[in-house]
Amino acid sequence: MPLVVPHATGRYTVAADALDRLGAYLPDTGIAPGPCLVVTDETVQRLHGDRLRGVLDVLGFAPRVLAVPPGESAKSLAQLGALYDAALSSDGPKVNRQTAVFAFGGGVMGDLGGFFAATLLRGLPLVQLPTTLLAQVDSSLGGKTGINHATGKNLIGAFYPPRLVLADPAVLQTLPPRELASGLAEAVKHALIADAALVMFFEEQLDNALAGDPAVLAETVARAQRIKAEVVIEDEFETGRRAHLNFGHTFAHALERATGFNPAVLTHGEAVAVGMRCALRLSKALAPHLDAERLDALVARLPVPPLPPLDVDDLMAAMQGDKKRGAEGLRFVVLEDVGRAAVVQGVPDALVRDAWTAALG
Ligand SMILES: NC(=O)c1ccc[n+]([C@@H]2O[C@H](COP(=O)([O-])OP(=O)(O)OC[C@H]3O[C@@H](n4cnc5c(N)ncnc54)[C@H](O)[C@@H]3O)[C@@H](O)[C@H]2O)c1
Ligand SMILES: [Zn+2]
């Protein structure tokens, strides 16, 4: 059953289904076949571009593919400008308010293509076609779009809901293992904060998911999408429960900062895996009845490369700069129980240090 996410100005469907089924979802989007734009990266275009073009051709679209280099650096004003230039250049059909934008790729394409769609002609209809596990279970849902600035990540952007999110788990078969594991870290996080049954599913199936088992990945996408959808339905503009999605992330961001935001050393998902182990230790200190050992055993199965030597003082300092810092000191998302999270303020430094030491031990 596809999910429907209502929002301030409408609603959109979220589905885990084959790309070839796009036509079944379009009538609900208000998007009619015609000239359209596909924003993608060169890797995704090479691996899956022909397949999408085939689907769009059959439906009567005339796609123009705008492919940017892969990687986080594409979330820049320069690449955004290049997209505007390409879309508005005189060759090809003129872009108008009905021209649909298909953001086809990982979270980088969802954010860049989404912001492009949000801003060109003050907003074009947007379809998210996420192709990484992270994008399928997390970034494609919730309407956050944007680019980076030299001074920080995601500083320029807009809430801009798509008309449709269609995640085809089959495209995950070409994903590099580290990208798959990184997405699984976020999916496990969704389970920990919201869904005790999904925690049990991962206890049984995580190794199969890491090995790329298609059926397990399809179920993972469908179940984890549902959690993210439920959270953003409850809290569209991130004033409350959406913060729970940051479980493990205050620690993860400090690790990413300490390792130079270099995914070759540590991907975001790997940092989240370590961060969740810290957050579980902290949770145990604040909620002694929590079976943190059981959950830690699950999170510890997510592969993380050997970390470079890290100093707890440096990590503590890196945390002070985190934008999630509230007025009353550091804020953390902790688990009160399996599948139930809470935000806590003013956590004593000694507990945070202990959490680092335990996880990096
Ligand atoms: N908007 C949100 O709510 C939100 C939430 C979380 C993260 N994000 C953003 O998401 C981004 C990270 O997303 P990501 O991890 O998907 O990175 P990404 O988009 O860079 O994709 C990772 C790599 O995988 C490649 N790739 C994509 N799909 C593939 C496939 N099917 N087969 C083989 N290779 C494939 C890409 O070319 C890229 O090299 C960050 O910029 C982050 O800020 C946004
Ligand atoms: Zn994350």
In this structure, the number of other CB atoms found within 10 A of the CB of residue 59 comes to 15
Q: Closest Cα to residue 320, out of 310, 312, 330?
A: 330
Indicate whether residue 111 lines ligand 1 (CB < 6 A).
Answer: yes
Indicate whether residue 108 lines ligand 1 (CB < 6 A).
Answer: yes
Q: Which helix (H) or strand (E) holds 37?
A: strand 35-41
The domains found in the chain, sorted by start residue, are 3-174 (3.40.50.1970), 177-360 (1.20.1090.10)
Q: In what order do the strands lie in the sheet with 10-16?
A: 3-7, 10-16, 164-167, 126-130, 100-105, 35-41, 62-68
Q: Residue 17: phi, psi to the nearest 5? A: -160, 165
Whole-structure pTM value:
0.96
Q: Return the ligand number nearest the Cα of 118.
A: 1
Indicate whether residue 139 lines ligand 1 (CB < 6 A).
Answer: yes
Residue pair 226/171 in contact by the 8 Å Cβ criterion: no
Q: Residue 113: phi, psi to the nearest 5? A: -65, -35
Counting atoms of ligand 1 from 1, which one is nearest the CA of 135? 16
Look at residue 58 in the predicted model and tell me its pLDDT.
97
Look at residue 320 in the predicted model and tell me its pLDDT.
83
Q: Closest Cα to residue 106, out of 55, 155, 171?
A: 171
> Mutate which of 75, 131, 262 to test ligand 1's pocket (most atoms within 8 Å of Cβ)?
131
> Mutate which of 132, 147, 246 to test ligand 1's pocket (most atoms within 8 Å of Cβ)?
132
Q: Is 203 helix (H, G, I), strand (E, B) or coil?
A: helix
User: How many Å lie between the centroid of ligand 2 and the Cα of residue 273?
Assistant: 10
Axis-axis angle for helices 268-286, 292-299 (nearest 10) = 170
Give the span between the Cα atoms of 95 and 113, in whole angstroms: 15
Look at residue 326 in the predicted model and tell me its pLDDT.
54
Look at residue 302 in the predicted model and tell me its pLDDT.
98
Give the span between the Cα atoms of 350 and 174, in whole angstroms: 43
Any residues with CB less than 8 A from the CB of 155 and at least 6 apart, and which?
Answer: 146, 148, 149
Indicate whether residue 174 lines ligand 1 (CB < 6 A).
Answer: yes
User: How many Å lie between the centroid of ligand 2 and the Cα of residue 160?
Assistant: 19
Q: How does pLDDT run across 290-318, given as a tens digit for each residue?
A: 999 999 999 999 999 999 999 999 999 99
**pLDDT < 50 positions in the chain:** none
Indicate whether residue 109 lines ligand 1 (CB < 6 A).
Answer: yes
Q: Return the ligand number nearest the Cα of 46.
A: 1
Burial bucket for residue 65 (CB in 10 Å: 0-12, 13-18, 19+)? middle
Axis-axis angle for helices 349-360, 249-258 (nearest 10) = 70
Alpha helix positions (H), the chain: 22-25, 42-59, 77-88, 107-119, 133-134, 177-194, 196-210, 214-234, 249-258, 268-286, 292-299, 312-320, 349-360
Counting atoms of ligand 1 from 1, which one is nearest the CA of 74? 20
Half-sphere exposure (Cβ direction) of 203: Cα atoms closer than 13 Å: 13
Q: Closest Cα to residue 191, out of 268, 267, 299?
A: 299
Catalytic positions, written as ranges: 122, 144, 186, 228, 238, 242, 246, 249, 253, 268
Indicate whether residue 135 lines ligand 1 (CB < 6 A).
Answer: yes
Q: Return the ligand number nearest the Cα of 185.
A: 2
